[in-house]
Amino acid sequence: MKSVKTYKDLLIWKKGIEIVKEIYKICKSLPKEELFSLQSQLKRSSISIPSNIAEGWGRNSTKSYVQFLNYARGSLMELETQIIITYELKFISIETYNKIQDLITEESKMLNAFIKSVQK
């Protein structure tokens, strides 16, 4: 197993980057009138996931690191809500919805497990 030398080695960070890229693809297909509302929120919440993982890595204490991992988890739940809204408004297909939902579920499980391991 490869040792973790930086936050960029963390699978939860890599998955977060994958989620950001998928969200940007989704945003390209949203109506122009959503540019400053739903599209902006989707981008912000998705970017916040790997950003908080990285910021927490740079902190000097485990307590602070866990706090930022929890922020990442909160952003993930915010993103999930926004994706549900996007789907309910029929801005994305069921296939796109399922794809991003699978990524969100996987990231959520990974984050929860990682938080528990850091707290030990």
Domain boundary assignment for the chain: 7-119
The reported pLDDT for the residue numbered 34 is 84
pLDDT confidence band for 24 (50 / 70 / 90): very high
Q: How many CB atoms lie within 10 A of CB 89?
A: 12
The structure's pTM equals 0.93
pLDDT digits 0-9 by tens, 46-70? 999 999 999 999 988 899 999 999 9
pLDDT confidence band for 35 (50 / 70 / 90): confident
CATH fold of the domain at 7-119: de novo design (two linked rop proteins) (1.20.1440)
pLDDT confidence band for 89 (50 / 70 / 90): very high
